A and B are shown apart, each in its own frame.
Chain A
Amino acid sequence: MLTLLFDGVAYGMLLFILAVGLCVTMGLMNFINLAHGAFAMLGGYVTVALMQRHGVPFLVCLPLAFLASAAMGVVLERTLYRPMYKKPHLDQVLFSIGLAFMAVASADYLMGSQQQIMQLPDWLRGRTELFADTPFVLGMGHYRLFIIAVCAALTMGLQYVLSATRFGSRLRASVDDARAASGLGINVNVVFAATFAVGSGLAGLGGALGAEVLGLDPTFPLKFMVYFLIVVAVGGTTSITGPLLAALLLGIADVAGKYYIPKLGAFIVYALMIAILIWRPQGLFVRQGGKS
């Protein structure tokens, strides 16, 4: 019971790190980016390749995965994404699906279509059980504990940057109303490029962390695209607490659903999402006053 909750939280935290970049870019530029999972996949493959072929330690791989995805994000943002912001949503959807298709086929070509196996370092394997003799037994995999710690630290860092720094207030202003913000002298393009890079980097980091939990194969961007979009659609795009809660909810619902009613699998998650979106079309957690 508690173990399930724990696993759900770890899964949810991971989804949050994967999807937070998508939330901010969607809120900022109103751009529907279905290729976000490709950045996560890049991070995952960078980690696996570095660890297996070059023997780089796991902890060094994580920042490298972040940097690789962020660099890719900057390059793509400057070259391909920027002309798309003003286009209608249909074009954006087509464009980003096309990118995702290309990423899937390229990964297949470069790394092979098999599932990649991640060799965790010894200190992350194993499991600790708390309250072992009571009905509330809590089994914690060390790796999942590590994921929660990293993601919680990142979330607090993001929250700090958003709420207490000058860049954060510029970002919030741009999300609320890009035109008014640029009228006040904020360079929205630079803010956006930086946000896009960090968002892609975080997705890469999430992909690296999640390669062991979520599985890593070339169909990753399409398989998890739905989950990222659920986080964004349910959480709303105006804050990061909304997506965080949505991701936790999704993680717990998914793990619990698959454990208690394995026959219906992902059904629970989709049904929950549709019900929430019919009830609150703009997402569960919408801040009043912002431009929707």
Chain B
Amino acid sequence: MNAHTSLLRAARWQPLELVFWALAFASPWVLAQHALIINEIAIVALFAVSLDLVLGYTGIVSLGHAAFLGFGAYSAALFAKHIHPDPLLGLAVGMAAATLLGALCSLSIMRGSDLTRLMVTLGTALILLELANKFSDLTGGADGLQGVIMGPLLGQFEFDLMGQTSAWYSLAVLLVLFVLARRLVHAPLGVTLKAIRDNRLRAMAIGIPVTARLAVVYTVAAGIAGAAGALMAQTTGFASLDVFAMDRSADVMLMLAIGGVGWLYGGIAGAVAFKLMYDVIANITPQYWTFWMGLFLVVLVLVGRERLIRPWTWVSAASRKEGAS
């Protein structure tokens, strides 16, 4: 088996993936009363996939990915409110705005250490938060942007209170962008990204244009995050300042950590696990849920994700140690 076929094999669609997507699309119908949370999960999953492109595939530690989510959300909400209520048009506007912002911001992540990038990305999100707060005539400031009324999807499906339309809409967008991201990471471009992540100096030495690749992936990821933001604003009819907040960026990082980085389904699995966990914990202790979330993070990192999600390896590792001694 030569390199060509082995690369192609990794990129082929597995039957299990098709089953997964079929189940995902059936879920708003089967679990109709949970359609709202399915919608939320689809949106944060899209957001996590976007961060995975930057963090998992390219190795840029970003603590400000919410900048693009929020920018997309506000662009789509403002477009719907002032120009045209069509959702797909609004989605395109949100994505385009976030893509432009991403192209601009990609200039800021080229140099420096992980700490520098962490600070620059965080600073970008905080600046946008401050701006959204101060230009309250446009954004509604701390009260949020209210009164966003969406038109029917494709001219015939109204957004209902049950959230089924929203859920299908978000799932469809998630699928389309996921397929795009999947193509991207299995294309030669994606392989060069992994090379940059693993060793930037060597990647440069074999002739990969590192800066250009970083700019491309950051811009694409920003566009996808913008789509997630636009979906969020459209399906809730609301955009508030917390879309820019650091909690969002930290949460999405946590989702990736749960699901696994450098694996596109990791973002989706993490989003599902995170949302369900959040729901359970917030129901038990609404005020102190951050404590348990923090504890979970600490344990996750200390024990290691691989070992945590495979409890059966604890026993065998322990018995092997005993056998050795």
> Contacts of B13 on A, CB cut-off 8 Å?
none
* Residue pair A94, B253 in contact (C-beta under 8 Å): yes
Q: A97 an interface residue at 8 Å Cβ cutoff?
A: yes
The proximity string for A residues 95-111 relative to B, scoring 1 for CB distances below 8 Å and 0 otherwise, is: 10111111111101100
* Residue pair A226, B122 in contact (C-beta under 8 Å): yes
Scan residues 267-286 of chain A and give those whose CB is less than 8 A from a CB of chain B.
267, 270-271, 273-274, 277-278, 281-282
* Residue pair B116, A281 in contact (C-beta under 8 Å): yes
Q: Kindly specify which of B17-25, B35-43, B106-114, B149-157 makes contact with the partner chain.
A: B106-114
Complex CA gap A109/B285 in Å reads 11
> Contacts of B261 on A, CB cut-off 8 Å?
90
Q: B134 an interface residue at 8 Å Cβ cutoff?
A: yes
* Residue pair A229, B118 in contact (C-beta under 8 Å): yes
| Nearest-CB residue, chain A, relative to B296 | A98
> Contacts of B175 on A, CB cut-off 8 Å?
none
> Contacts of A281 on B, CB cut-off 8 Å?
111-113, 116
Complex CA gap A90/B297 in Å reads 12
Q: Kindly specify which of B207-215, B287-295, B314-322 makes contact with the partner chain.
A: B287-295
> Contacts of B92 on A, CB cut-off 8 Å?
none
From A93, A270, A274, B63 is in contact (CB under 8 Å) with: A93
CB distance from B290 to the nearest CB of A (A): 5
Complex CA gap A89/B55 in Å reads 11
How many residues of chain B are within 8 Å of chain A by beta carbon? Answer: 43
Scan residues 97-145 of chain A and give those whose CB is less than 8 A from a CB of chain B.
97-106, 108-109
| Nearest-CB residue, chain B, relative to A232 | B115
Complex CA gap A285/B296 in Å reads 38
> Contacts of A282 on B, CB cut-off 8 Å?
112-113, 116
* Residue pair B115, A98 in contact (C-beta under 8 Å): no
> Contacts of B279 on A, CB cut-off 8 Å?
none
* Residue pair B130, A93 in contact (C-beta under 8 Å): no
Complex CA gap A97/B250 in Å reads 8
A-B contact pairs, 30 of them (CB 8 A): A84-B302, A93-B118, A94-B257, A94-B301, A95-B298, A97-B294, A98-B295, A99-B298, A101-B294, A101-B297, A102-B295, A104-B290, A105-B288, A105-B290, A106-B291, A226-B122, A226-B126, A232-B115, A233-B115, A233-B116, A233-B119, A265-B130, A265-B133, A271-B123, A277-B120, A278-B111, A278-B120, A281-B116, A282-B112, A282-B113
